[in-house]
Structure 1
Amino acid sequence: MDLRIFTEPQQGASYDDQLAMAQRADELGFDAFFRSDHYLRMGDGDPLPGPTDSWTTLAGLARETSRIRLGTLVSSATFRHPGILAVQVAQVDQMSRGRVELGLGTGWFAEEHSMLGVPFPEKRFGMLEEQLEIVTGLWSTPVGERYSFDGKHYQLSDNPGLPKPAQSPVPIVVGGNGPRRTPRLAARFGSEYNQSFPEKDTIAPQIARVRDACEETGRNPDDLTYSVAFVACVGSDEAEVQRRADAIGREPAELREHGLAGSPAEVLDGIGALAEIGVSRVYLQCLDISDLEHLDLIASEVMAKLD
């Protein structure tokens, strides 16, 4: 079971805050450090220090970490033209010496689009599908050849498909809980299929849909990594669990039901239950980005005890 750290910097985090958590996660042996791709705080609270751009941040982290993998969960197809996104991700992958993964989704937060003046079409799934096709097509175009694409949403002509990422291919994380189109996209483009904050009893049926979609396309379902993301709130005793829950404005009982929370033993049991239904990677959403001791506890009392 891979454990990855996942943060929400739009809730209030500078680059230095993210760097501190990424470096601690790197030192402790977590598999990856991922961040959201948002530009506006959700809910009430102090908006300072303001947003940070996901791929600008990851470029910096690429040069200031050594081992840990880096990526987005997930970038919004509405924010960047796929030709530009392909260049950005390939460059950050080079900067990290092959440690980048691209999570890409349709986007959903209308308010941040209006705040930025970015169009937010009602129907975005077609945009996402074309973006996945273009980004992977550009990266796989042999050096010396040209890539063109004529779609409903995007048109590219005579693109040399440069720069190339360090990895071939860059892992693509396809996420979402849709019952039909999302499984087909995961089967076609994904190296990983992710469910973020699902109801726990829906995880296994959705994995089954994705596996069926793989078989329908002639792909081995075992080629995909199946992952989930849950809020993490772990404490060495109940007082510490309560303190960490209070810090993120949540209740321990609700976090136990909908996230991975409680004592290390409780969280290990929760991870074990996920493994039994086919999950092999968990993103631990750490909402208090200043609480580096949280990572220390998870590393020593949860990650170290996984098989």
Structure 2
Amino acid sequence: MQFRVFTEPQQGASYDDLLAVAQATEALGYDGFFRSDHYLRMGDGDPGAGPSDAWTSLAGLARETRRIALGTLVSSVTYRPPGILAVQVAQVDAMSGGRVELGLGTGWFEEEHAAYGIPFPPRRFDLLEEQLEIVTGLWSTPVGERYSFAGEHYTLTDSPALPKPARLPLPVIVGGGGPQRTPALAARFASEFNLPFPEFDAIPAAFERVDEACRAIGREPRRSCTRLR
């Protein structure tokens, strides 16, 4: 079992705050430091610091820590085109020496999209599926080969599929509480499944849905798709 620290810096944390917590996380023997990926405060908090970009701050933490895992719980597919996301995450992973995990989800907080001019389409699971396929496809393409993708929402043509993460496969976390598509996407793409802030009694059924989705595609559950909560 691993113990990891999760933070919500949109509530009023500066980069210096994040750095202090991440370094304390490492010094105290915890296994990882994860942050949310949001651009707007929710309810009470300190408005002074303002939002911070998740992957920019994680890049800094990658150079200021040595051991702990680093990642997002979770980045929204609405924020970044998948090709750019693959480049950003691969670069931060290289900066960390191979300690990064990518959490990816559909997004839900419409107000932050309106506040910063980010489109918020009503149907986002197809975006999530295509982004997962593209990001993992870019990373798994052998060096020297090209990657192309033609989907409903994204098209990549003759991409050099670079840079690569420092470690392959880079752990991907699929997050969300949806009863059908989320388990299927976790089974297909994820090394970890994240169930955010669940009611305790709902946890076994949610995990069982992921197990069933793994078995449906011939993937052994429990060993091949761990869970975080």
Per the TM superposition, whether the score is higher than 0.5 is yes
**What residue is the counterpart of 2:25 in the other structure?**
25
**Structure-1 residue corresponding to 2:2:** 2
Whichever residue aligns with residue 214 of structure 2, its letter is: C
Listed as ranges, the gaps of 5+ residues in structure 1 are 229-307
Taking structure 2 as the reference length, the TM-score comes to 0.98
Structure of greater relative contact order (alpha carbons < 8 Å, 6+ residues apart) = 1
Residue 209 of structure 2 corresponds to 209
- 2:141 corresponds in structure 1 to 141
Asked if 1:129 is matched to 2:138, the reply is no
2:197 is the counterpart of 1:226: no
**What's the CA shift for 1:46?**
3.6
Deviations 1:229-286 (A, max 9, x none): xxxxxxxxxxxxxxxxxxxxxxxxxxxxxxxxxxxxxxxxxxxxxxxxxxxxxxxxxx
SS in 2 for 1:226: strand
Structure 2: give runs of 5+ residues left out of the alignment: none
The number of aligned residues is 228
Shift of 1:47: 1.0
- What residue is the counterpart of 1:190 in the other structure? 190
Matched, 1:115 2:115: yes
Distance 1:45 1:184 in 2: 36
What amino acid does structure 1 have at the position aligned with 2:34? F
SS of aligned partner of 1:223: coil
- Give the CA deviation at 1:2: 1.0
Question: Which one-letter code corresponds to 1:134 in the other structure?
Answer: I
CA contact (8 A) 2:62 2:92 kept: yes
Q: Which residue of 2 aligns with 1:282?
A: none
Aligned-residue offset at 1:177:
1.1
In 1, distance between residues paired with 2:44 and 2:33? 26
Identity fraction in percent: 70
What amino acid is aligned across from residue 33 of structure 1 in structure 2?
F
1:178 CA drift (Å): 1.1
Q: Deviations over 1:179-222 (max 9, x none)?
A: 11111000000000111100000000111111010000000102
Partner Cα separation in structure 2 for residue 175 and residue 166 of structure 1: 23
Residue identity opposite 1:157 in structure 2: T
Residue 154 to residue 195, structure 1, CA distance change in 2 (3 Å): same
Structure 1 position 37, deviation (Å)? 0.2
Please name the residue that 1:171 is paired with.
171
Larger Rg, first or second structure (1 or 2) = 1
SS of the aligned residue for 2:108 comes to coil
- Post-superposition offset of 1:44: 3.7
After TM superposition, the score normalised by the length of structure 1 is 0.74
For 1:227 and 1:22, locate their aligned partners in 2 and report how far apart those are by CA, in whole Å: 19
- Could you say which residue in structure 1 is the equivalent of 2:77? 77
1:58 aligns with 2:58: yes
* Residue 175 (structure 1) shift: 1.1
RMSD between aligned residues: 0.7
Could you tell me which amino acid in structure 1 is paired with residue 18 of structure 2? Q
SS at match of 2:56: helix
Moved >4 Å (runs of 4+): none
For 1:225, the aligned partner's letter is: T
Instruction: Show CA shifts across 1:13-36 (max 9, x none).
Output: 000000000000011111100000
- Please tell me whether the aligned partners of residues 86 and 139 of structure 2 are also in contact (alpha carbons under 8 angstroms): yes
Please give the alpha-carbon distance, in whole angstroms, between the structure 1 residues aligned to 2:184 and 2:212: 9
Counterpart-to-counterpart distance in 2, 1:53 and 1:194 = 21
Question: 1:45 Cα shift?
Answer: 4.2
Q: Is the 8 A contact 2:11 2:44 kept in 1?
A: no
AA aligned to 1:226 is R
